[in-house]
Structure 1
């Protein structure tokens, strides 16, 4: 239900941030009721109200908390991990009375109503430049459309309210079909893109404001989702390709050569002026003296610890093994003959934390305990690490920004759209995916692991194995053992592939023998992955899982591909049988234990309950109970 609009309420809501930088609180406090004409006669009040539209993104019902660890879980990337009273949405048994279902709906409509207020009062200020007014209109129209995009994604048919709510009677409104909502969203965002033609990624030194390429990137996403299930408007693949190309052709955005830096910068609330890979972010910030924005949701997802030094984290999500095992791995045997593995894909051990915390307190850092290479369950996501934040770290707040759309996503969206439009993977589409993979495999920053050492001169006279020394600027950790026979070096076994090694890495062997290192490749897709439309789509699905995990996209991706239900059910089967994802040749990605959990283990329910509960109805959330009560034209989604 939308509440009646009152100016003091809007002023208070809009005062969360200042429009000028999206960083500071407005100091003015409302003291009395003002008419809309009086209030919006000031340009500053109009821009402050636009800031209130932006602030909806930070609400605890959305990116601030519930959206990240409840609404968008559980899928084959992240699973709700906390035992006890588990919220219903992650287990696919929510009803119209569920609090999270209601809060997302209400918060999105609050943002929409705020945008409607801005747009209704564009011409009220007496002193405002046309360019300023055009930019405000473009941002307000885009944000309103984005909130409707989120609504129709999650709820399907929804009321399309495009004017400020003035009275309770206005809550009675028919529902607009999801396809029509998508069409309206695309039209609104297209208009906004034109209005913001001169507000580009170089206009600001932060990413919280909407720019032209941000609109274009989100338009590509909206069109791609409209083309998929359940709307299935296939003509939108053309539009998705068009808008993705606009972003690429702008030349304003590039991949940061170091994947981890994208997220480290977000943890520190820093702007990536050099690459601008993160195109649009939800901005959070914390001032340790007087916190400007409470963002407790930022400490729900990550590596759990109660230590203030590392940064407290609830650790409410586990990584599902399929995410970890989709990354390519390199098996090796350590110097003590223990089997282990490493990944040439630099994303794996960043996105999936290779350690867990233990101990620590307010003044002492916790210990980092390595996770065994073949422990697939109960791992934690590590993409955003509170240890990367600037100290002091506040227990329930974090300055970490969350990306809504990144350049890597744009590249993958264009590849997918082109595959659908042409019916096969074109060279352009393959190159787009390979561009993302090249960064992951260290090609852009010359940083690899050592996957082998080839002997080029066996030498003579060896009685005992010689010492092998690996040297490469920036590389760390690599070790190897020589094997001898008949006085010669017949082989060199890598016992630790290390990380960060450049192409110039060398190997020295005592006693005269010589060898050269073999570094991991560029990650280019193989012929099996590009053999046809379906094979290439599967490669893109896997790539999106590895690149974009934890960025709130996976559940909706699985929906539009029409595989959400089958994926979740397969997860339930895997946890009981101990089966796992396989390579194209049918062999396990890495050796796996057959029984990851005994069926009686309480943790197993986090995987089996979603599988047992999910059904066709879960492609939509329920329409909230309050909407059904206060809107006499509301209609409930099928199955609820």
Structure 2
């Protein structure tokens, strides 16, 4: 039974989807033909990316439904343990349905193990119906699953009631017309931690992604893809970092749009009056999370390798030009930027990493709550300080202009 459950966990998500789906947004640009077509708006339903993801998620759902159809055949397992395993599997099935509905809209809702004949004739359900199913499942299993505080350390990474509520809040926010429900779900996680687990922000933002000890054991992650050095690893970062620090090729790079979204340390956007932004020194006085995420020209790289990264053509004093922007190159950055986030200092020489990849974080719960409260016209100084203010303080902001509530004029925009 447990081997079947662990198989379902392994099918929930993977490192390739985790990283490369960024290239379907304006956060990243990939050299892959599929992602280029999606980014340019020239993709079709026959695109291998779409075909493969469809198969992936429905394979996950098939595995979950098989588990749910046959787990009761085990007559020796305690009923309460069995119900927990069912709830974990229902979460994974709900997560797959949510991803399908996000990508494809109306899709078959498969809540039972289908025969081959059924699979060939089942019609698509509306996107709304699929989302309602996901919310109903998450609401139900949150009453079955234990909190993270109720499970032993050896079970870190298993799905909890906190994870169920965090995903429910994400789905409800995505629906767009359930803001009161979003607030109610988030407030359970924020205000009833005795029932749903103790969660708080990690002190250092960068540590959450790149410090192995903090990454694997912290009170911010509600659910992560679990990896173990040597035994179960990922190595996508090998193709995202500068060659001078061990990178192989550059298959996906941060975009200028992503970089421009990082505000100034005074809380203003780079294009706002009084921001202090200077195009000749564009990375000075920026949100500290930029440096934790993106490698830019003259970046001070620290870790097992300590060096300055030169990206602007003709600036590398060593003449090696390994990291300089070179359009059309298969090894240099595609955009003039590289990735730093999820750099594992223990992963050299081949960037095989055992860091966990976080799917749900308490930081997202706080931002979801803030967005819902703002949409309801209920944003105020208290909500701000609990959410956006707290996140900025954790990131390292000190300027009152960034930390203090600015009023809600224009905030929705």
Which bin holds the TM-score, normalised by the shorter protein? Answer: 0.7 to 0.9
Which structure is higher in strand share? 1
Task: Give me the whole-angstrom Cα distance separating, in 2, the residues matched to 1:83 and 1:159.
Answer: 29
Closer, same or farther: CA 526–414 of 1 in aligned 2, 3 Å: closer
For the pair 1:64 / 2:15, whether they are aligned, the reply is yes
Counterpart for residue 234 of structure 2: 295
Counterpart for residue 523 of structure 1: 402
Match of 2:257 among 301, 322, 325: 322
Task: Give me the whole-angstrom Cα distance separating, in 2, the residues matched to 1:442 and 1:111.
Answer: 42
For the pair 1:53 / 2:1, whether they are aligned, the reply is no
The CA deviation at 1:318 is 2.5
Counterpart for residue 384 of structure 2: 430
Counterpart for residue 374 of structure 2: 419
Closer, same or farther: CA 531–239 of 1 in aligned 2, 3 Å: closer
Give runs of aligned pairs for residues 400-411 of structure 1, distance below 5 A.
Answer: 400-411=355-366
Unaligned runs of 5+ in 2: 267-275, 313-324, 326-333
SS of match in other structure, 2:257: helix
Counterpart for residue 199 of structure 2: 253
SS of match in other structure, 2:106: coil
Match of 2:28 among 65, 78, 85: 78
The CA deviation at 1:523 is 2.3
CA contact (8 A) 1:244 1:414 kept: yes
Task: Give me the whole-angstrom Cα distance separating, in 1, the residues matched to 2:248 and 2:89.
Answer: 34
State the Cα RMSD in Å. 3.1
Task: Give me the whole-angstrom Cα distance separating, in 1, the residues matched to 2:38 and 2:75.
Answer: 48
SS of match in other structure, 1:536: coil
For the pair 1:130 / 2:130, whether they are aligned, the reply is no
The CA deviation at 1:270 is 4.5
Task: Give me the whole-angstrom Cα distance separating, in 1, the residues matched to 2:305 and 2:359.
Answer: 32
- What do the CA deviations read for 1:11-69 (whole angstroms, capped 9, x no partner)? xxxxxxxxxxxxxxxxxxxxxxxxxxxxxxxxxxx2211111110134xxxx3214522
The CA deviation at 1:349 is 1.1
Counterpart for residue 317 of structure 2: none
Task: Give me the whole-angstrom Cα distance separating, in 1, the residues matched to 2:255 and 2:98.
Answer: 27
Task: Give me the whole-angstrom Cα distance separating, in 1, the residues matched to 2:249 and 2:357.
Answer: 18
CA contact (8 A) 2:15 2:236 kept: yes
The CA deviation at 1:317 is 2.5
Which structure is higher in helix share? 2
Closer, same or farther: CA 210–313 of 1 in aligned 2, 3 Å: farther
CA contact (8 A) 1:207 1:280 kept: no
Counterpart for residue 347 of structure 1: 289
Counterpart for residue 368 of structure 1: 308
The CA deviation at 1:216 is 0.9
For the pair 1:537 / 2:412, whether they are aligned, the reply is yes
How many equivalent residue pairs? 373
The CA deviation at 1:411 is 0.5
The CA deviation at 1:405 is 1.1
The CA deviation at 1:269 is 8.2
Unaligned runs of 5+ in 1: 1-45, 228-233, 358-363, 444-519, 539-640
Counterpart for residue 231 of structure 1: none
The CA deviation at 1:356 is 7.3
Task: Give me the whole-angstrom Cα distance separating, in 2, the residues matched to 1:522 and 1:441.
Answer: 13
The CA deviation at 1:537 is 2.6
Counterpart for residue 203 of structure 1: 151
Task: Give me the whole-angstrom Cα distance separating, in 2, the residues matched to 1:408 and 1:204.
Answer: 24
CA contact (8 A) 1:263 1:383 kept: yes
Task: Give me the whole-angstrom Cα distance separating, in 1, the residues matched to 2:147 and 2:73.
Answer: 23
CA contact (8 A) 1:201 1:213 kept: no
Give runs of aligned pairs for residues 148-163 of structure 1, distance below 5 A.
Answer: 148-163=97-112
SS of match in other structure, 1:293: coil
The CA deviation at 1:400 is 2.6
- What do the CA deviations read for 1:409-443 (whole angstroms, capped 9, x no partner)? 1101001111122x252333322211111112356
The CA deviation at 1:135 is 0.7
Closer, same or farther: CA 414–313 of 1 in aligned 2, 3 Å: farther
Closer, same or farther: CA 411–67 of 1 in aligned 2, 3 Å: closer
Give runs of aligned pairs for residues 209-228 of structure 1, distance below 5 A.
Answer: 209-227=158-176
The CA deviation at 1:224 is 0.5
Match of 1:165 among 94, 103, 114: 114
Closer, same or farther: CA 83–111 of 1 in aligned 2, 3 Å: closer
- What do the CA deviations read for 1:106-155 (whole angstroms, capped 9, x no partner)? 11111111111111123111201122111101101111111101110111
The CA deviation at 1:525 is 4.8
The CA deviation at 1:322 is 3.2
Give runs of aligned pairs for residues 535-574 of structure 1, distance below 5 A.
Answer: 535-538=410-413
CA contact (8 A) 1:327 1:348 kept: no
CA contact (8 A) 1:419 1:429 kept: no
Task: Give me the whole-angstrom Cα distance separating, in 2, the residues matched to 1:210 and 1:112.
Answer: 17
Task: Give me the whole-angstrom Cα distance separating, in 2, the residues matched to 1:83 and 1:134.
Answer: 43
Counterpart for residue 283 of structure 1: 226
Task: Give me the whole-angstrom Cα distance separating, in 1, the residues matched to 2:47 and 2:26.
Answer: 23
Counterpart for residue 263 of structure 1: 209
Closer, same or farther: CA 259–365 of 1 in aligned 2, 3 Å: closer
Task: Give me the whole-angstrom Cα distance separating, in 2, the residues matched to 1:209 and 1:356.
Answer: 41
Counterpart for residue 628 of structure 1: none
Task: Give me the whole-angstrom Cα distance separating, in 1, the residues matched to 2:165 and 2:249.
Answer: 35
What TM-score comes out, normalization by structure 1 length?
0.53
CA contact (8 A) 2:363 2:391 kept: yes
Counterpart for residue 304 of structure 1: 242
CA contact (8 A) 1:416 1:429 kept: no
CA contact (8 A) 2:29 2:335 kept: no
Task: Give me the whole-angstrom Cα distance separating, in 2, the residues matched to 1:135 and 1:272.
Answer: 22
Counterpart for residue 272 of structure 1: 217
User: Greater CA radius of gyration, 1 or 2?
Assistant: 1
Closer, same or farther: CA 175–339 of 1 in aligned 2, 3 Å: closer
The CA deviation at 1:93 is 1.9
Task: Give me the whole-angstrom Cα distance separating, in 2, the residues matched to 1:304 and 1:105.
Answer: 33
SS of match in other structure, 2:402: coil
